[in-house]
Amino acid sequence: MCQRAFAIFAHPDDIEFLAAGTLLRLRAAGWETHYMTLSNGDCGSTIFTPQQTAEIRNKEARTASGILGAKFHGAPGRDLQIFYNIELLRWLAAVIRDVNPQIILTHSPEDYMEDHQNTSRLTVTAAFARGVPNFGTHPPSEAVDGEVTIYHAMPHGLRDQLRRLIVPGAFVDTGAVHAIKREALAAHASQKDWLDRTQGMNNYINAMDSLSLQVGKLSGMFEHAEGWRRHSHLGFSPQDTDPLAAALGSHYRINQAYEDSLNAGGFPSPSGTIA
């Protein structure tokens, strides 16, 4: 049986910042990988019109997904217009039913902007609806069986919208694939000028490098890493499974301190995150 992983994020280049290394690791482990953003990135320019920007960013995203070896799915929405609404939900549920993935990678429920948070919410609900026959999709699709596990990426800056540190529940070693991740991010060439002008990021590839190294340091084991938190299995699988662990083996490390804090009914502490 073909194992499929689906990265669903908000904007072109979000996947490269937060999830590309994990997609590459899964692909190396024999998984089929899929790539989609809910926005076409039309606001990401100070030079081009929205339509021109969307066309440029679509080409860049297609190139990036090709570098990652992932199947590309087109974006249905626009920047700053990703809302939790029935139109997007019906569309996304149809795509998830079509792909029928065993792993979904998406944004953190807490992040600095609502496009990211709403993408996370839409993805969770659409995944839940994959097996609900009475939920109509657009285009129409049949409900599917099968388990799925959702993983939430780290927010940008590793902090929520109120500046609180978000601790990874697990880490994926991305060191061996980091160069490919950089190449895929560099495919989004139109974003360098935009981010320099609007967010003061100076060099967006260096910003990704810094985040990767920071998460790697938190792991206590890997030089470069991506961090993940696993969504509740309720409504998605009969058991609390961790397919990333099964697929990636030694390239995956559970943050035992995080797990212990959950089992104790508390919340992970920003300090002493690794047992």
Q: Say if domain 4-263 classifies as CATH 3.40.50.10320.
A: yes
Amino acid at the residue 35: Y
Question: Would the pTM count as exceeding 0.85?
Answer: yes
Sequence-ordered strand ranges (E) for 78-230: 103-106, 149-153, 170-173, 225-230
* CA proximity to 124, closest of 145, 107, 102, 111: 107
- From first to last of its 275 residues, the chain has per-residue pLDDT tens of 799 999 999 999 999 999 999 999 999 999 999 999 999 999 988 889 999 999 999 999 999 999 999 999 999 999 999 999 999 999 999 999 999 999 999 999 999 999 999 999 999 999 999 999 999 999 999 999 999 999 999 999 999 999 999 999 999 999 999 999 999 999 998 887 777 777 665 578 888 999 999 999 999 999 999 999 999 999 999 999 999 999 999 999 999 999 998 888 766 655 434 43
Q: Where are the domains of the chain?
A: 4-263
Please answer whether residues 137 and 127 qualify as being in contact, where contact means their C-beta atoms are separated by less than 8 angstroms. no
Longest CA–CA span in the chain (Å) reads 52
